[in-house]
Structure 1
Amino acid sequence: MDGQVGGSRRGPIRTVDVARESGYSVQQVRDLERLGVIPPAARSANGYRSYTPAHVHALRAYRGLAAAAGPVAARRLLAELRSRTVAEAAAAINAVHVRLAREREEALRAQQALCAIRAEAGTRAFEHEGDAMTITELAAALEVRPSTLRFWEQEGLVTPERVTSLRARRYGVAAVGAARIVAALRGAGYGIPAVREIMGSLRRFEGLEETGRVLQQRLDRIAARTVDLLRAGADLAVVVESTGPGGESGR
């Protein structure tokens, strides 16, 4: 294809050429077409697939999007983009950037909570009444369901304070900090037993150091996913511009 994917080559493209230009194998190209990552290729009279440059851009975009948001979400998003307007498609891609930024912000808050635990040295004197959060407020801050916080409580990961006869949950500074760390660890892929072990070791020096290392790894992975998304930007722009009625993907 001589690198002429973007604009100058407009004729049919063979499967083997699409594979070479996108970095996937021939079978992977067919599989991703079957999964809806790219629109169905046209068929020639002899039954061979005929692709267009739009297919190559979509496959390249999928690589970075899958690294940033996960393969399932990437497949769903690329399939949805073909039926959206340019404005809607651009907003959907921007939402991926926003999610990554929120993940990074929460990991940084977990780091701050860890620093507070280090500084606390066994005292809760730094807590103030105004710093407490209800279960609804904390769930919203962490972008989880209240039922998730209740589950973490059952598993011994986060212990709230209880007030009123209705046993309404109240989370002080220490509990909020612990919840932020749990959320970051779960987001990093740690299972409940591993999180329980880490949270149980936070009062020990080695436990604090290990948690700090895990949180930094979490931030490093978020940064890598962000870079993958940025690398896919030019190809995603082509996909977005070809969406909706009249776009190349809709022809």
Structure 2
Amino acid sequence: MRTKLQTGGQLRPVDLARRHGLSTQAVRNYEADGILPAAARSPSGYRVYTPRHALALRAFLALVPGHGHRTATAILQAVHRDAVEEALRLIDDSHAQLLDDRRTLHAVAAALVELTPVEQGRGDTFVGPLARRLGLRPATLRKWEAAGLVQPRRDPKTGYRVYGPADVRDAQLIHQLRRGGYRLDQIAPLLTQVRTAGGVAPVAAMLENWHARLTARGRVLLSGAAALDAYLTDSAPPTHP
């Protein structure tokens, strides 16, 4: 039967810190935040870490790129509360978000491919119905208008904003790109390209970059899961025949 890593060797805070390019204060903070299990103390009061702490720190640092600092922290905190199911649910949530982002990317690509010239004056709508259709607040549409991304005309009698088919298309595209993580200043030139070119060719590089970022995120999620599994395996109580 293999020897558990945590049974052999002692590590100082500086040992963990140097191994992972951190400060000793960061290591102490991670312990205080529950990212690392509580350390034993030497007779003189100094923290004593073990290879098990090194595995926990390695797992946390591997989880951060895919899940973010807050979620990675919550995952390790749950593990140290013996709430492994909660930790796994948090991991599932990140994978579900990645899947949703992939679907969004595919939707954006499909929307761009299917862009066709539209007739002005048909299928007009107002800010409230359009906001409900997209699941947004009307203030968000007005913010996009202030940024120059959508340009609804005004009804000459009422002064209400009137969104024609092209405006609705632009709003849908903005909404999808915002979900994909693009800032308003990044979306503006894309919309200009779409309006002038009327097709997907000018934005092919953007779609390829987005796809590459999703692939990279999928890989780091796998790396984080592998590191966490190694920590959980080492932390599990030994089984006896």
Q: Same fold (TM over 0.5)?
A: yes
Name the % identity. Answer: 29
Shift of residue 221, structure 1, vs aligned partner? 0.6
Root mean square deviation, CA, Å: 4.2
**Alignment partners' CA distance in 2, 1:115 and 1:124:** 18
Which amino acid in structure 2 is aligned with residue 65 of structure 1?
L
Q: 1:24 aligns with which of 4, 8, 20?
A: 20
| Cα distance in 1, alignment partners of residues 147 and 197 from structure 2 | 23
Partner deviation per Cα, 1:136-191 (whole Å, 9 max, x = no partner): 3412xxxx66643442233232457999x8x698785x556534543454456543
Q: CA deviation at 1:115?
A: 1.1
1:212 aligns with 2:204: yes
Amino acid in the other structure paired with 1:31: A
**Quick one: distance in 2 between partners of 1:150 and 1:58?**
47
Q: 1:170 to 1:203 in 2, by over 3 A?
A: closer
CA contact (8 A) 2:36 2:57 kept: yes
- Which sections of structure 1, spanning at least 5 residues, go unmatched? none
Rounded to whole Å, the distance in 2 between the matches of 1:76 and 1:161 is 47
For 1:106, what is the secondary structure of its paired residue?
Answer: helix
Give, in whole Å, the separation in 2 of the partners of 1:46 and 1:8: 24
Alignment CA distance shift 1:30-1:212 (3 Å): same
How far the C-alpha of 1:32 sits from its partner, in A, is 4.6
Match of residue 98 from structure 2: 100
Report the TM-score when normalising by structure 2: 0.69
- C-alpha distance in 1, partners of 2:208/2:86? 34
Q: Structure 2: 5+ residue runs without aligned partners? A: none
2:217 maps to 1:221: no
Q: For residues 82 and 169 of structure 1, do their structure 2 counterparts lie closer, same or farther at Cα, with a shift above 3 Å needed?
A: farther
Number of residue pairs the alignment of both structures matches: 225
Written as runs of structure 1 = structure 2, the 5 A alignment for 1:162-181 is: 177-181=169-173
Residues 192/226 of structure 1: CA separation in 2 closer, same or farther (3 Å cut):
same
Partner of 1:59: 57
Highest CA radius of gyration, 1 or 2?
Answer: 2
Q: Counterpart in 2 of 1:138?
A: 134
Alignment map for 1:109-120 (pairs within 5 Å): 109-117=107-115, 120=116
